[in-house]
């Protein structure tokens, strides 16, 4: 029986299956770090370029509003109240008779400042506290985590409303501070988790056994390997801080009406919402586009920095 179905001993032609040197390093390829890899994957995505260009434009508008409009946003004439668009005033006028285009452009600065500043603060506090708690553990972790939980239990906007209403004259900086007081636990939690898993990795144990000091391991190995998810969340939260500022200003506890911001303009527009909705439309659209741009960027960053997604490429 075996003879009938026995299979011949087949040997492939050597030319067809050349045997390569064992485990030789391919020197022709370019070296690739995680970040180079992430950049490589991001730049292939049109969404990355769209969101980056949007963010760039928003940044330029925030820094140099006068490049985009010569009209003074504070010179308002009641005769133009709720006026429709006309030459030189493409977005029309609001109830006070101020130029909506000019106000939207000039409002960018306050909104973006709050967003950037709050994100920077939250990331700084969150990364420091999260990594110390996750890395050193013990009572420090327990203590910090409970404090974080307390703040976590207070909705950011609600907490900010309470705090803002007792603070004197609000500025973009003070709004950013107040928001970050209530928003850092989210970043700290994420950082703590990422640090925990990085701390338990073999390369940390290897470094310990090599005699590298504990704090040096935290700085050189743990944090660089744990920071990626925080970057993603920080990018996304930048948009939410801008929304939060708008919410506070809309409710009248944020920036004072003397400071131009999208939130203030949206708040003022509600009085004439039915008669002239275009007054609301423009600052709201500016807000949405800004938030969307950061959300998009965050999404792309997530894809680029996610090791699982990277492995598939």
Partner 1 sequence: MSLVLTENTADEFQGAEQPLLQIRDLEVGFQTQRGLVPAVRGVDLTLYSGQTLAIVGESGSGKTTTAQAIIDLLPGAGKVTSGQILFEGRDLTKLSAKDIQAVRGNLIGYVPQDPMSNLNPVWNIGFQVEEAIKANGLAQGKEARARTIQVLQEAGLSDAADRLKQYPHQFSGGMRQRVLIGIGLSARPKLLIADEPTSALDVTVQRQILDHLGTLTRDYGTSVLFITHDLGLAAERAEQLVVMYKGKVVESGPSQEILANPQHPYTQRLVSAAPSLASRRIQSAKHASAGDAVIFGEGSLDDTLVARAADRENAAPAQDLISVQDISKVYRIRKKGLRTDELRAVDGVSFGIQKGTTTALVGESGSGKSTVAKLILQLESITTGAIEFDGQDVAGLKGKELLKFRRRVQPVFQDPYGSLDPQYNVGNTIAEPLLAHGVGTAKERQARVKELLEQVSLPWSSRFRYPSELSGGQRQRIAIARALALKPDVLVLDEAVSALDVLVQGQVLNLLTELQTELGLTYLFITHDLAVVRLVADNVCVMQKGRIVEAASTDDVFDNPQQAYTQELLAAIPGGNFQFGR
For partner 1, the binding residues (CB under 8 A) are 4-12, 14, 16-17, 19-25, 27, 29, 31-34, 37, 41, 44, 201-203, 205-213, 216, 221, 224-225, 307, 312-313
**CB of 50 vs partner 1, minimal distance in Å:** 19
| CA separation for the pair 5, 239 (Å, rounded) | 70
Q: Which residues pair with 99 in a beta bridge?
A: 93
Q: For residue 245, how many other CB atoms are within 10 A of its CB?
A: 31
Whichever of 24 and 146 has its CB closer to partner 1, that residue is: 24
Whichever of 9 and 79 has its CB closer to partner 1, that residue is: 9
Kindly tell me the burial class for residue 281, based on how many C-beta atoms sit within 10 Å of its own C-beta (0-12, 13-18, 19 or more).
Answer: middle
**CB of 87 vs partner 1, minimal distance in Å:** 50
| CA separation for the pair 195, 187 (Å, rounded) | 12
Whichever of 3 and 258 has its CB closer to partner 1, that residue is: 3
Whichever of 119 and 207 has its CB closer to partner 1, that residue is: 207
How far are the Cα atoms of 164, 186, 265, 297 from residue 261, in angstroms, in the given order? 16, 26, 6, 23
How far are the Cα atoms of 128, 140, 151, 266 from residue 95, in angstroms, in the given order? 47, 54, 39, 12
**CB of 138 vs partner 1, minimal distance in Å:** 16
**CB of 194 vs partner 1, minimal distance in Å:** 13
Whichever of 67 and 205 has its CB closer to partner 1, that residue is: 205
**CB of 236 vs partner 1, minimal distance in Å:** 23
Contact 199, 134 (CB under 8 A): yes
């Amino acid at each position: 029986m075996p003879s009938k179905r026995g299979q011949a001993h087949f040997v492939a032609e050597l030319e067809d299956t050349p045997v390569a040197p064992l485990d030789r390093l391919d020197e022709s390829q370019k070296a690739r770090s995680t970040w180079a890899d992430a950049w490589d994957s991001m730049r292939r995505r049109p969404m990355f370029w769209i969101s980056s260009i949007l963010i760039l434009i928003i940044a330029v508008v925030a820094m140099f509003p006068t490049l985009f409009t010569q009209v003074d946003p504070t010179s308002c004439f009641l005769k133009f109240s709720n006026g429709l668009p006309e030459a030189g005033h493409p977005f029309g006028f609001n109830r006070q008779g101020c130029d909506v285009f000019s106000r939207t452009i000039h409002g960018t600065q306050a909104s973006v400042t709050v967003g950037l500043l709050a994100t920077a603060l939250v990331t700084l506090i969150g990364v420091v506290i999260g990594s110390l708690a996750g890395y050193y553990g013990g009572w420090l972790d327990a203590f910090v985590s409970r404090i974080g939980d307390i703040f976590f239990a207070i909705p950011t906007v609600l907490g900010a409303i309470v705090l803002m209403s007792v603070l004197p004259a609000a500025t973009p900086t003070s709004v950013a501070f107040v928001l970050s007081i209530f928003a850092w636990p989210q970043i700290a939690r994420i950082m703590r988790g990422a640090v925990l898993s990085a701390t338990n990795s073999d390369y940390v144990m290897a470094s310990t056994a090599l005699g590298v000091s504990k704090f040096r391991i935290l700085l050189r190995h743990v944090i660089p390997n744990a920071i990626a998810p925080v970057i993603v969340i920080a990018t996304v939260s930048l948009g939410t801080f801008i929304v939060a500022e708008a919410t506070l200003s809309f409710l009248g506890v944020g920036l004072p009406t003397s400071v131009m911001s999208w939130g203030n303009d949206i708040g003022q527009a509600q009085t004439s919402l039915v008669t002239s909705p275009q007054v609301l439309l423009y600052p709201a659209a500016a807000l949405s586009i800004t938030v969307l741009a950061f959300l998009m960027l965050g999404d792309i960053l997530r894809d680029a920095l996610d090791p699982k997604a990277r492995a598939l490429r």
